[in-house]
C-alpha cells in the first residue's frame, strides 16, 4: 500500500484542495491481489481504486468510450512473427491508467489509512486518472491513440496481452451445437469453432428458455473436451490474403434475417472470422450472399490497412471466395458499381 501511495504522489495524481458543498465527492478503496509465477507467490499488490459509480454524468465525466484491441490484430502480428522470425515480448505496464490526464474536475476523498497530516480535512482534486473512474480507459488511450489497439514505437516493440480460460468438471461432447431442432424464441466468440454457436445463443439472452440453457451447457461441455485445441499458425512464406464467405438465407425462423459468416486467411493462417446476423431482410439468396461478400470485403480492406501500417503488405491482390453464382456475377459486373 505504501509503495502504491508513493507512486501516486510521485506521479502528482492529485492536488489537496479544501472541501466544498458544491463538490461531488467520490469515495475510493484499496484492492489487494496476490500475483503468482510458476505456482509460487511473485508479489503482493495493492491498488487504489476510485468508486466510479459515485460519479455524475456531465459533472465528473463526459466521454467514456475507449477502443479496445481487435483480436485479428493480435493474430496478424503473431502470423507475421512466425513467417519472418520475429522475437516476441510480453510486458506488463504498471500503473497504466495513471498516465492519462483528466479534463474534468473530479474530487475524491483521501485514501483510507493515508490521510495527510498537514491537510487532514482537504480532498483530492484528481489531475491524473485512477482505476475505477468511468473516463480512465479513454484518458489512457488518448495518450497513445490508435484505433486498432496496436501501438508502434520507433523500434516496433509491441504490447500483447492474452488471456486463456477453460472450465472443468463437465462431460465433454464432440460438437459445439446441435443442428436440429433450430433455436428460436418459440422453443423452449473468440474461438473460431464456437463463433456460430455464440452468435446464436447471444440472440436469446433477453428471452431464454430451457432449450437455450441446454444449448449453452452443450457449448460449455464442448469447450471442456477441447481445452487442448487451438489455432495452428504456420510459417508460410506465401503471405497471400484470401477469405471465404457464406450466408444462410432467412436462417432465423423468428424474423427471417440471414446470417453472414466469413473467415480471412493470411497465407494458411486464419486471422479473422465472424458469424453475425445481417441488419436488414434479404429478399433473395443472392442478396444475402452479396451482403456477406460486402462485409468480408470490408474486413479484408481493414486487414490490408493493418499490414500496410506494419510494412508487410502482400504483393498479390486479395481473393474472396463465394459459393453463390448470383452474388459472384453481381460483384463482378462493373455496371452495378
Question: What values do phi and psi take at 158, rounded to 5?
Answer: -130, 135
What does pLDDT average to over the chain? 86
Q: What is the pLDDT of residue 312?
A: 86
Q: What is the pLDDT of residue 38?
A: 84
Which residue is it, cell 488518448?
142
Domain boundaries, the chain: 2-68+94-141, 176-229, 241-336
Query: How many C-beta neighbours within 10 Å does residue 329 have?
Result: 12
Q: DSSP string of 209-267?
A: -HHHHHHHHHHHHHHHHTTT--------S---EEEEEEEETT--TTT---EEEEEEEET
pLDDT tens track, the chain, 337 positions: 999 999 999 999 999 999 999 999 999 999 999 988 888 998 899 999 999 999 999 999 998 887 778 889 999 999 999 988 888 888 777 777 788 899 999 999 999 999 999 999 999 999 999 999 999 988 888 876 554 567 666 444 333 334 333 455 667 777 776 666 566 554 337 788 888 888 888 888 888 899 999 999 999 999 999 988 888 888 877 778 999 999 999 888 888 999 999 999 999 999 999 989 999 999 999 999 999 999 999 999 999 999 998 888 887 899 999 999 999 999 989 887 7
Taken in order 303, 194, 243, 283, is the CA torsion positive or negative? negative
- pLDDT tens digits for range 256-291: 999 999 999 999 999 999 989 999 999 999 999 999
> Number of C-alpha atoms within 13 angstroms, CB side, residue 326?
11
Q: What is the pLDDT of residue 168?
A: 55
Q: Could you tell me the CA-to-CA distances from 94 to 46, 131, 142, 309 in Å, in that order? A: 12, 12, 17, 27
The topology (CATH level 3) of 241-336 is Ubiquitin-like (UB roll) (3.10.20)
Q: What is the pLDDT of residue 161?
A: 32
DSSP E strands, 80-236:
107-108, 123-126
- pLDDT tens digits for range 64-95: 887 778 889 999 999 999 988 888 888 777 77
In the DSSP assignment, the letter for residue 116 is -
C-alpha cell at 333: 459486373
Q: The whole model's pTM is what?
A: 0.69
Amino acid at each position: 500500500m505504501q509503495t502504491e501511495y508513493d507512486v501516486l504522489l510521485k506521479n502528482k495524481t492529485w492536488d489537496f484542495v479544501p472541501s466544498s458543498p458544491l463538490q461531488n465527492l467520490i469515495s475510493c478503496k484499496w484492492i489487494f491481489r496476490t500475483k503468482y509465477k510458476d505456482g509460487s507467490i511473485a508479489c503482493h499488490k495493492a491498488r487504489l481504486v476510485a468508486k466510479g459509480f459515485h460519479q455524475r454524468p456531465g459533472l465528473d465525466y463526459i466521454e467514456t468510450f475507449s477502443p479496445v484491441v481487435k483480436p485479428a490484430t493480435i493474430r496478424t502480428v503473431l502470423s507475421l512473427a512466425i513467417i519472418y522470425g520475429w522475437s516476441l515480448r510480453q510486458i506488463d505496464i504498471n500503473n497504466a491508467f495513471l498516465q492519462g490526464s483528466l479534463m474534468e474536475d473530479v474530487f475524491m476523498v483521501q485514501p483510507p489509512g493515508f490521510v495527510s497530516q498537514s491537510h487532514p480535512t482537504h480532498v483530492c482534486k484528481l489531475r491524473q486518472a485512477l482505476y475505477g473512474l468511468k473516463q480512465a480507459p479513454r484518458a489512457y488511450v488518448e495518450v497513445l491513440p490508435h484505433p486498432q489497439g496496436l501501438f508502434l514505437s520507433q523500434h516496433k516493440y509491441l504490447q500483447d496481452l492474452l488471456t486463456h480460460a477453460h472450465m472443468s468438471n463437465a462431460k465433454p461432447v464432440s460438437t459445439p451445437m446441435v443442428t436440429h431442432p433450430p433455436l428460436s424464441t418459440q422453443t423452449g466468440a473468440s474461438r473460431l469453432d464456437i463463433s456460430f454457436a455464440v452468435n446464436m445463443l447471444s440472440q436469446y439472452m433477453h428471452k431464454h428458455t430451457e432449450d437455450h440453457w441446454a444449448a449453452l451447457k452443450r457449448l460449455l461441455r464442448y469447450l471442456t473436451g477441447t481445452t487442448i485445441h487451438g489455432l495452428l499458425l504456420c510459417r508460410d512464406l506465401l503471405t497471400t490474403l484470401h477469405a471465404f464467405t457464406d450466408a444462410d438465407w432467412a436462417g432465423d425462423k423468428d424474423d427471417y434475417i440471414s446470417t453472414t459468416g466469413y473467415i480471412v486467411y493470411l497465407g494458411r493462417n486464419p486471422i479473422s472470422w465472424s458469424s453475425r446476423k445481417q441488419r436488414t431482410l434479404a429478399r433473395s439468396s443472392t442478396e444475402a450472399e452479396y451482403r456477406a461478400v460486402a462485409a468480408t470485403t470490408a474486413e479484408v480492406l481493414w486487414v490490408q490497412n493493418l499490414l500496410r501500417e506494419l510494412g508487410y503488405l502482400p504483393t498479390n491482390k486479395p481473393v474472396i471466395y463465394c459459393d453463390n453464382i448470383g452474388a459472384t456475377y453481381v460483384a463482378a459486373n462493373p455496371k452495378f458499381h
